[in-house]
Amino acid sequence: MPTIADIYYHLYQGSSLGKDPAVVLIHGAGGTHLYWPAEVRRLPGQLVYAPDLPGHGKSGGRGQQSIAAYAASIQEWLDALGIHSAVFVGHSMGSAIALALALDYPQRVTGLALVGGGARLRVAPQLMDAVESPSTYLKAVHLVVEWSFSLETPQTLKDLAEKRMAETRPSVLAADLKACDEFDVTERLGEIQKPTLIICGTEDKMTPLRYSNYLAERIANAELAVIPQAGHMVQLEQPRRVLEAIQGFLGRIRYP
């Protein structure tokens, strides 16, 4: 897969560039593009980009310590690709980056889909402490994974997610959690005027359903899709239902 502006990305050409706005999938803290299941990375009839954020996966650079910095890096990457605007689908920290793009670079945003997101993303102090120590880093990764899946999730899926996150450099995950902990756009949600879909699993412990309800109540004309039998990693636990929600949303966007 290609790399541009030091960002590696997965590309699915289900549609010709210029026909409809591109769809950009932004993964969460400590993740890579593989935290989007193949069903979502290959949205039928869409041009889909799934980047590894700076310092993550196969991308170069270092992890950023603020959501604003990640949003700026995505904008620079879009410039390098020659993409003027896109529909941004963000999970967890990725949803915060998508919100920052809509607030600070609205001309780049055609629509938003926020998966397991929130206007604030406070991180448990014990997790912040654990991730910053080499002796407890793997314990921190294990905690993140345990809190991210529903009880019904097969252990094999959880083990794979834990293995992938453990490959992330400790400094990168620590920076990601710091960026999340300092993120707060509760007073700015009313500024968002882009079509917005909000997706949340009923068993999400990291960003509970009340976070998504808050977004839906304060973003104009936002749609809310609640997915049963799923936790914070709803897109991995219920990929078909998440795919259907995103497809329906894309079909309702009126493109210029």
- Domain of 99, CATH number, reads 3.40.50.1820
For the chain, how many structural domains are there in total?
1
What are the phi and psi torsion angles at 78 (to 5°)?
-60, -40
Length of the chain: 256
pLDDT < 50 stretches in the chain = none
DSSP character at residue 256: -
Q: In which domain, by residue range, is 52 found? A: 3-252
Please write the tens of the pLDDT for every residue from 212-247.
999 999 999 999 999 999 999 999 999 999 999 999
> Using CA atoms, how far apart are residues 213 and 57, in angstroms rounded to an integer?
32
Mean pLDDT rounded to a whole number for the chain = 94
Enumerate residues 6+ apart whose C-beta is below 8 A from 171: 62, 63
The confidence score (pLDDT) of residue 254 equals: 76
Cβ contact 232:157 at 8 Å: no
